[in-house]
Amino acid sequence: MQINNAENYLDLTALGLCADMMSMTAIETKHIENKGFQNVKNPFFVYLAEKNAYSMKNKINHMNVAFYIAPYINAICRSGTIEEKQIVFESMLKYKAFTILPSTKRGHAAGETEQLVEQAMRVVTNVKARQTKAQDAGLDLLEQLIEERHLLDHKVLLFLLEPGEVDRNIAGLSANKLMAKYQRPVCVLTKVTEY
């Protein structure tokens, strides 16, 4: 695929800047964001914005994207399977997003179809929910360990876990939640059994 017009990809570039919570103090970065959000064309981005329109008050800006759109992208990258990632990636490609596929909706009728971008929206929603469930389970375990091991007596909350106790893909998210709650550094380590 040849890229003829870089402006066609500014919306995804701006999304990436917000997903990274990049500083908007540099004028060049702020300009890319402003240009990208003025004319959002990416089908997947548009669908995510429509899904979160109420929360975003129908405004696409740095903070709204960072809190209502980027978490879905981060979830698919962190917790999605290869197949789920491929569906979402392809739905970001304008020439593939509206491809008609057999429906994968639960309870769909035989022969029912849907667009790839619609399927991708369902996939990211499911992956985000799955990630949140794993994160909550991890937090419950870590909170239990804090209490059992009297970890609040220390300046740093340090956890050494067995494989599988907390999903490695969400250990950092759990650590961030604990760091915010207890206002101290948190380190979640998991033993590795294979190299």
Q: Residue ranges per domain, the chain?
A: 6-190
Give the per-residue pLDDT at 105: 85
Q: What is the DSSP letter of 119?
A: H
Give the per-residue pLDDT at 19: 59
Give the per-residue pLDDT at 156: 94
Tokens linked to 184: 């101290």
Q: Which positions of the chain have pLDDT values less than 50?
A: 1-4, 6
Give the per-residue pLDDT at 4: 46
The pTM assigned to this predicted structure is 0.81
Give the per-residue pLDDT at 122: 95
pLDDT digits (tens, 9 = 90+) for 52-78: 999 999 988 888 888 898 899 989 988
Report strand pairing: 186-190 vs 157-161.
parallel
